[in-house]
Amino acid sequence: MSRLAIKICGLSTPDTVGAAIRAGASHVGFVSFPKSPRHVAPGQMRALAAIASHVDRVGVVVDPDDELLTELVATGGLTAFQLHGKETPARAAAIRQRFGLPVWKAISVKTAADIAASCAYAGAVDMLLFDAKTPDCAALPGGMGLRFDWTLLHGIRPVLPWGLSGGLGPDNVAEALTLTGAPLIDVSSGVESAPGIKAVDKIIAFCEAAGAS
């Protein structure tokens, strides 16, 4: 059986990046989206990524233009992009081809139809990340601690490698894994003491609850 992949997303300080790695995270995520309380500038992202050189480092972006992506690639610190906006399969494929990094696509889920629609990204991206659909009036596309009905993922056979995000925390990650069998789990607000402020103790508790070794 493959080892569970754990991504701690929205990290913004050296101590929390270090805590995530020590706790067993396989991936760390850095957000480049000024509206987010987890936003980090490219220079800061470069410094944080250097601490995490032996794990995967994912840059989270929302409907990015090529100028931003070029700037983030130039930091030399990222191993993948995570698209968290309304990027189409064609746009995702273009990003993947131009910048030469694996591309993840967050899929907003409320119903089974949303999961089925993710098939459109086959051949365009490398990873699907099933996340809770946020309200239409929400300022952010994710990171709000919302969860969807995880039973929708029970027994599915996605067309691509996939992970689970949205509403996860130390108290429910074991349940989520039991219901979905997710090979990768992604947490952000569930390990925070306040929006954008990661808590070392919660990061450790999350990884322990997920069975990180």
pLDDT at residue 204 tops 80: yes
Strand, coil or helix: what is 123? coil
- pTM for this predicted structure: 0.92
The answer to whether the beta carbons of residues 189 and 144 sit under 8 Å apart is: yes
181's tokens = 């069998």
Per the prediction, the chain carries an average pLDDT of 92
Residue 198: predicted pLDDT: 97
Q: What is the pLDDT of residues 142-176, one digit of tens each?
A: 455 678 999 999 878 888 999 999 999 999 999 99
The answer to whether the beta carbons of residues 92 and 120 sit under 8 Å apart is: no
Q: CATH number of the domain at 27, please.
A: 3.20.20.70
115's tokens = 């999961």
Instruction: Kindly provide the b/e burial profile for residues 94-132, where b requires at least 16 CB atoms within 10 angstroms of the residue's own CB.
Output: ebbeebebbbbbbbbbeeeebbeebeebeebbbbbbbbb
DSSP letter (8 states) at residue 39? B
Q: What is the pLDDT of residues 39-87, one digit of tens each?
A: 999 999 999 999 999 999 999 999 999 999 999 999 999 999 999 999 9
Residue 137: predicted pLDDT: 52
Q: What is the pLDDT of residues 119-136, one digit of tens each?
A: 999 999 999 999 998 755
Residue 141: predicted pLDDT: 54
- Can you spell out the DSSP letters for 147-212? ---GGGGTT---SS-EEEESS--TTTHHHHHHHH--SEEEESGGGEEETTEE-HHHHHHHHHHHT-
Structural domain of 169 = 5-210
Q: How confident is residue 3, by pLDDT bands cut at 50, 70 and 90?
A: confident
Q: How many domains does the chain have?
A: 1
Residue among 204, 179, 192, 211 at smallest CA distance from 145? 192
CA distances from 88 to 2, 93, 117 (A): 30, 9, 12
